[in-house]
Amino acid sequence: MMSKTLVEKIWDAHVVKSEEGFPDILYIDTHLIHEVTSPQAFDGLRKRGLPVFRPKQTVATADHNVPTLNQLQPIKEELSRYQVDMLTKNCAEFGIELYGLGHPFQGIVHVIGPELGITLPGKTMVCGDSHTSTHGAFGAIAFGIGTSQVEQVFATQCLLQSKPKTMKIEVNGTLEKGVGAKDIILYIIAQISAAGGTGYFIEYAGSAIESLSMEARMTICNMSIEMGARGGLIAPDQTTFDYIKGREFAPAGEEWNKALAYWKTLYSDADAKFDSVLTFNAEDIAPMITYGTNPGMGMGIQEHIPATNAQPEKEKLSYQKALDYMGFDDDASLIGKPVDYVFIGSCTNSRIEDLREVADFVKDKRKADNVTVWIVPGSKQVEQQAINEGLDKIFEAAGFQLREPGCSACLGMNEDKIPAGKYCVSTSNRNFEGRQGQNARTLLASPLTAAAAAVTGVITDVRELLTPLAP
């Protein structure tokens, strides 16, 4: 039998039809939807007089546009309220399960899928959101689609897709204390650029990846799109199975045994051919921070901003524009630079493990006076768990504001925006111009680096604040 990569195994198991000169018709197991990219797709169905073909394979939540304070009050902003109401109406009309505001399962679409056991190894999953790659952490083919494709999946439970090229990124070795999954992925993107993965599906592998928790693996896969890749995934292993077992919609009983037997076949064969292979050492990775306006513009926190003159000729103009926007100079160090906001949240870093790590670090510490700190849990379940574990008390004592679940300040769409000109150390995924609010300046970093900035009020190398391990 021909050896296959993990992507090929899952892909081939979902091809309804493959014909020369046409993209494959790919069957989609699970379709996640939210309020922003679905209304025009529902409208399209109405115009065509079509139902949703497999409503039971579709799950909806409201996340992008929701406020993160007083969520049970009517949404103040009229257009946001209308969009969220429209989702409720559309889901009712087309028979789709909705975890809307007030529901105990509500949350960021890429946080709730995994925590409810909807995200499973070997599945094909799509959502009208580029960070759908998050679900790849379970060994699923998961990717973001546009609204026309949302309509396509509604109408047919299939997508026309050309088989992607495959890339393997291996990270081997042991991470230094204070360095985590977010640093790994920011490091990889800085190495291969914001376009370095375009056209590929990436499989992350190697000992450093295998040693990560599911939450950390989700952080890595989440940002695959930030190097242009369609998706990223990690072969499922015992860590994956342990995470899934017992979750709300996970298979149980005999179904579990059957599923597990299949999941254990989901790995790239030893001699499978990837179109590209890259290898990195975990020991080379420091806490990372971005200094520019795309996620590829990142560096180790102790490094200096690369000089404009060192950039390729045709990229100089764009590079200078980015530094001007950020208010940074060539060769500058960011250490000690005052920050105004710290945002800990988004589909990249809003899971319980992220909140625990931050709470553990800020226990008995207090935020600096010049910083506003927002902690936005990824879901109602994460929020509840944080409260159950008493993390809310730690945050309160530190002056960190624990808000309600949603996409929040990741994308400057809802009420949570960073004011113009202000610097925000953010655990989200994009530092584009205006991403967090008009003229807001975003520095992407890990939850620990963000928490360190919150406590000191300036960009800080978190390694210097961590207590050395007892001998």
Partner 1 sequence: MKKFTKLTSAVVPLNIENIDTDQIIPARFLKATTREGFGENLFRDWRYNGDNTPKPEFVMNNPTYSGQVLVAGKNFGCGSSREHAAWAIQDAGFDAVISSFFADIFKGNALNNGLLPIQVSDDFLAQIFKAVENNAKSPLEVDLENQTVTIVETGAQESFEINPYKKSCLINGYDDIDFILAQKDLIEEFETP
List residues binding partner 1 (CB under 8 A). Answer: 16-17, 21-23, 25, 27, 36-37, 39-40, 43-44, 48, 53, 64-65, 79-80, 82-83, 86, 128-130, 144-149, 151-152, 155-160, 162, 194-195, 198-199, 225, 228, 230, 294, 296, 314-315, 317-318, 321, 411-413, 420, 430, 432-435, 438-439
Choose between 160 and 466: whose C-beta lies nearer to partner 1.
160
Choose between 40 and 279: whose C-beta lies nearer to partner 1.
40
Shortest distance, CB of residue 318 to partner 1, whole angstroms? 4
Cα distance between residue 381 and residue 253, in whole Å? 24
Strands 141-144 and 124-127: parallel
List residues bridging with 277 in a β-sheet. 168
Cα distance between residue 48 and residue 175, in whole Å? 53
Choose between 80 and 119: whose C-beta lies nearer to partner 1.
80
Choose between 207 and 439: whose C-beta lies nearer to partner 1.
439
Choose between 48 and 363: whose C-beta lies nearer to partner 1.
48
Phi/psi zone of residue 438: left (φ > 0), alpha (ψ -120 to 50 degrees), beta? beta
List residues bridging with 404 in a β-sheet. none
Shortest distance, CB of residue 341 to partner 1, whole angstroms? 17
Shortest distance, CB of residue 259 to partner 1, whole angstroms? 14
Cα distance between residue 86 and residue 414, in whole Å? 16
Choose between 34 and 367: whose C-beta lies nearer to partner 1.
34
Least Cα distance to 62 among 21, 94, 105, 95 occurs for 105
Helix 39-48 to helix 147-156 angle, to the nearest 10 degrees? Answer: 50
22, burial (CB in 10 Å: exposed 0-12, middle 13-18, buried 19+)? exposed
Shortest distance, CB of residue 256 to partner 1, whole angstroms? 18
Choose between 44 and 399: whose C-beta lies nearer to partner 1.
44
Instruction: Give the C-alpha distances (Å, rounded to integers) separating 396 from 364, 401, 403.
Output: 11, 7, 11
Shortest distance, CB of residue 360 to partner 1, whole angstroms? 32
Cα distance between residue 272 and residue 465, in whole Å? 44
Shortest distance, CB of residue 397 to partner 1, whole angstroms? 33
Choose between 209 and 413: whose C-beta lies nearer to partner 1.
413
Residues contacting 315, CB < 8 A, separation 6+: none
Shortest distance, CB of residue 151 to partner 1, whole angstroms? 7
Q: How many C-alpha atoms does 109 have within 13 Å on its Cβ side?
A: 31
Shortest distance, CB of residue 100 to partner 1, whole angstroms? 16
Shortest distance, CB of residue 190 to partner 1, whole angstroms? 14
Residue pair 302/461 in contact by the 8 Å Cβ criterion: yes
SS3 string of 146-164? CHHHHHHHHHHCEEEECCC
Shortest distance, CB of residue 81 to partner 1, whole angstroms? 10
Longest dimension (CA), the chain: 70
Tokens at 404, concatenated? 């309600």
Choose between 227 and 453: whose C-beta lies nearer to partner 1.
227
Q: Tell me which H or E stretch contains 243.
A: helix 238-244
Choose between 42 and 374: whose C-beta lies nearer to partner 1.
42
Residue pair 283/176 in contact by the 8 Å Cβ criterion: yes
